[in-house]
Chain A
Amino acid sequence: MNLSYLFDAAHWDLNASGSIPQLLLSHLWYVFLALAIGTVIALPIGLYIGHTGRGSFIAINAGNAGRSLPTLGLLMLMVTLLGLGLLPVLIALTVLVIPPILTSAYAGLRSLDQRVVDAARGVGMRPWQVLTRVELPMALPVLMSGFRSAALQVVATATVAAAVGLGGLGRLLIDGLAVNDYSRVLAGAIVVAVLAVLLDLILALAQRWIISPGLRASR
C-alpha cells in the first residue's frame, strides 16, 4: 500500500473524467444537497416542537430511529423502489441529516432560559418575533453543533453514492477495491478525511461569525 495514486499528477487533472477534483466536486454536491434538503425539512419541525413544546416525543424518537437506520441498506431499498439515479442517494443521505438537526433545534430551544423568553413576550414581541429575534439566535450554538455533526456524517457517508453507480469520492474506494488497487483506496480515504476536517473547520469559523459574542462572553 502506498501513496502513489494520491500523488500522481494525472489523477488531479481537472478535465479528466474520474479525476480526484471531479469526484471531489460531485461528492460536495451530494453533501450540499443532502444538507440543504435535510435542513429545510428538519429545522422548521425542530423549531416548531421546541417553541411550542408540542410533540416532543417526535423529536426524541425521530432522532433515535434516524440514527439507527443503516444508510447502505436504506439506499439499496430506495434503489429497488425507485431505480438508479440521484434521488435514492439523496433520500438515504437526507434521512441521515435530519435527526441531528431536528434534535438540536428542539434541544436548543428547550434549554433556553425561560425567563428570557418570558421577558420577550412581556415586552410585546409576537410569537414569530420571539422565535426569530430571541429563541433562534440564543439557540444557535446548540443548533450549529447539530449541523456540524450532520455535515461530518454526510461527508463520510456520501461515499455510498458510488455503490449505486454515481460519482463522488466513493468511486476511489469501490473501484480501488474492485481491482485490488489499494493505493487508490487509500487516496479516497485520505481525501474524504481531509475534506471532513476542512469542512468542520469552515463551519467552526462560520459559527464564530454568526453567533453573538454575548453568548460567549463571560465576566
Chain B
Amino acid sequence: MITFDDVVKVYPGGGTAVDHVSLELPTGKTTVFVGPSGCGKTTSLRMINRMISPTSGRVLIDGKDVAGQDEALLRRGIGYVIQHAGLFPHRTVLDNVATVPVLLGKTRREARDTAMQVLERVGLAPEFAQRYPAQLSGGQQQRVGVARALAADPPIMLMDEPFSAVDPVVREQLHREFLRLQSELGKTIAMVTHDIDEAIKLGDEVVIFRQGGIVAQVGTPQELLANPADEFVAEFVGRDRGLRSLSFDTAAEMPVRPLPAELVVDEAGRPLGWKSSDGMKPTGGSFTSGDTLRLVADLAILSPVGIAVRVDANGVADGIAPHHDLADYLAARRG
C-alpha cells in the first residue's frame, strides 16, 4: 500500500503544487490520478519514487517512509513508465528492457533472458529485440517502455501519461493489453492521466485533482459517475456520465421479450434483419447477456426499428429489447 500523509509541495517560486494531500493507494489495484494540467497529479506521482521530495508530510510504501531510503535502490524496486516511453536511443530494445536487472546486479546474459520473456509478455515479437527505439512506432515504443518497467518484476508501477502520445486506435489496443496484464500481474499501480475516460476505464480507484494541488474526490469510477462530490467533479467527469455509468453493468438481469415475427433469422437462428415494406433493414448488431447496458442502449438507438437483439453464446437470437423496455428497466433499477 502507498500512503500519502498530509503531503505538501511548494516550489521556491511560491506556487503550491500539492496542497495537504492524504491518500491511500491499495495494494494490487490501479489508482489513477486525473485532473486538469497544473493540478499536482504528476508531482504527486513523482514523490512516490523520490524524483521529487515533498516540502512537508510523508509518502510511505507499506508503512515505510520513502524519504529514509536510498534513492537509486528505491527506484529500482518501482517500475517507471513515462510519456513517449523515454527509451535509451543508443541501446537495443532488449538492452533497454534489461536495464533494471543489470542495475540490480544480474549478469548481462541473465538480464537479457529475463528481458526476452518480458517482451513476449507485453506482446512484442522476438524480432524486435535487436532493433533500436528509433526503428519502432510510437505504440511499440510504449510497449517497450512498459516491458522495461516490468523487467525486474517490481510490486509497484508508476505510469505518467503512458498512453497519451499514441493515436486513438493504438491507445485502445494498449488499454486492452494493460487491463489483461494487470489482471495477470496484480501490481500496485499509480497512473497519471488528463483523460477522464482513460481514468474511468483503467482505474480501480480514481483520484480527481483540481487546480492548486487539491484532491477533489476519491472513489471508484462508478462512485464518481453516480455521485460527484461537487460541481467541479460533475463538470470534469462530463455531461454524459449517466450514459457512461451504464458501462459498469451487464445486461444479464435485463428482461427481454420473445422474438417477434418481424425478425428474420437464418436456418441456425442467427438474426439477419427486420422485415419491412421496402425490403429488409439491418439489425445493426446484437448483444449477449455478458455485454454492458451501454451497448444495449447504443444498439437500441442505432437500430432502424428501435429494438436491440439479444443472442446466446452461439449467436442464435433469443430475445429482443425495445428502447422503452431498457428505459423502464433503468427506472425500476434506480427506484
Given A115-B83, A118-B82, A214-B133, are A124 and B75 also a contact pair (CB < 8 Å)?
yes
Closest Cβ–Cβ distance, residue A69 to chain B (whole Å): 35
Q: Does B206 contact A (CB under 8 A)?
A: no
Flag B65-97 by CB within 8 Å of A: 1 or 0 each: 000000111111100101111111111100000
Could you tell me if A116 and B86 are in contact, using CB atoms closer than 8 angstroms?
yes
Chain A residues near B156 (CB-CB < 8 A)? none
A129 located at the interface, meaning its Cβ lies under 8 Å from any Cβ of chain B in the complex: yes
Whether A126 contacts B83 by the Cβ 8 Å rule is no
Q: With an 8 A cutoff between CB atoms, is A28 at the interface? A: no
Kindly supply a per-residue 1/0 record for chain A positions 193-218, scoring 1 wherever the CB is within 8 Å of any chain B CB and 0 otherwise: 00000000000000000011111011
Q: Are B51 and A119 in contact (CB under 8 A)?
A: no
B135 at the interface (CB under 8 A from A): yes
Cα distance A100–B47 when bound, in Å?
39
Pick the most buried of A118, A122, A212, A213: most chain B CB atoms within 10 A of its CB.
Answer: A122
User: Which A88-124 residues have C-beta < 8 A from chain B?
Assistant: 113, 115-116, 118-124
Residue-wise, chain A 116-138 has the 8 Å CB interface mask toward B (1 for contact) of 10111111111001000010011
The chain A residue with its CB closest to the CB of B131 is A217
**Does the CB pair B88–A122 fall under 8 Å?**
no
In the complex, which residue of chain A has the Cβ closest to the Cβ of B134? Answer: A217
Question: Would you call B73 and A124 a contact (CB within 8 A)?
Answer: yes
Q: How far is the CA of A116 from the CA of B92 in the complex (A)?
A: 14
Interface pair B90/A138, CB less than 8 Å apart:
yes
- Name the one of A118, A125, A126 contacting B51, with C-beta atoms under 8 angstroms: A118
Are A119 and B75 also in contact (CB < 8 A) when A138-B89, A214-B91 are?
no
Taking A115-B83, A212-B132, A213-B132 as contacts, is the C-beta distance between A123 and B99 under 8 angstroms? yes
Please give, as numbers and ranges, the residues of chain B lying within 8 Å of A120 by CB-CB distance.
88
Considering the complex, give the chain A residue whose CB is closest to the CB of B46. Answer: A122
- Asked if A119 contacts B82 (CB within 8 A), the reply is yes
Q: Does A219 contact B (CB under 8 A)?
A: yes
B51 near A122 (CB under 8 angstroms)? yes
B49 is an interface residue with CB less than 8 A from chain A: yes
Residue of B nearest to A219 (CB): B135
> Which of A134, A213, A217: most chain B Cβ within 10 A?
A217
Which chain B residues in 87-140 approach chain A with CB under 8 Å? 87-92, 99-100, 103, 132-137
Give A211 Cβ to nearest chain B Cβ, in Å. Answer: 8
- Give the interface centre of A116, A134, A211, A213 by most chain B CB atoms within 10 Å: A116
Question: CA A121 – CA B49 in complex, angstroms?
Answer: 10
Q: With the chains together, A212 CA to B91 CA distance in Å?
A: 7
Complexed CA–CA distance, A120 and B100 (Å)? 10
With A116-B89, A123-B80, A138-B90 in contact, is A214–B132 under 8 Å at CB? yes
Cβ contact within 8 Å between B90 and A125:
no
Given contacts A121-B51, A122-B49, A123-B148, contact A217 B135 (CB under 8 A): yes
B100: chain A residues at CB < 8 Å are 123-124
Q: How far is the CB of A57 from chain B (nearest CB, A)?
A: 21
**Which chain A residues lie closer than 8 Å to B71 at the CB level?**
124
Q: Which residues of B contact A219 (CB under 8 A)?
A: 134-137
Contacts of B158 in A (CB 8 A): 122
Nearest opposing residue in chain B for A112, CB measure: B89
CB distance from A129 to the nearest CB of B (A): 7
B75 close to A122 (CB less than 8 A): yes
Q: A122 to B162, alpha carbons, bound, how many Å?
A: 14
| Residues B89 and A214 in contact, CB atoms below 8 Å apart | yes
Q: List the B residue with the shortest CB-CB distance to A117.
A: B86
Q: Are A214 and B92 in contact (CB under 8 A)?
A: yes
Which of A116, A122, A211, A212 is the one whose CB lies under 8 Å from B87?
Answer: A116
Whether A125 contacts B134 by the Cβ 8 Å rule is no
How far in angstroms is the closest Cβ of chain A from B75? 4
Please judge, given known A-B contacts A121-B75, A123-B80, A219-B135, whether A129 and B103 are in contact too, CB under 8 Å.
yes
* Cβ of B248 to closest chain A Cβ, rounded Å: 33
Question: Within the assembled complex, what's the spacing in Å between the Cα atoms of A116 and B158?
Answer: 16
Cross-interface CB contact of A115 among B82, B133, B136, cutoff 8 Å? B82
Given contact pairs A119-B86, A134-B88, enumerate 7 new A-B contacts (beta carbons under 8 Å): A123-B99, A124-B76, A211-B90, A214-B90, A215-B90, A217-B135, A219-B135
Binding site for A on B (CB under 8 A): 49, 51, 71-77, 80, 82-92, 99-100, 103, 132-137, 148-149, 158
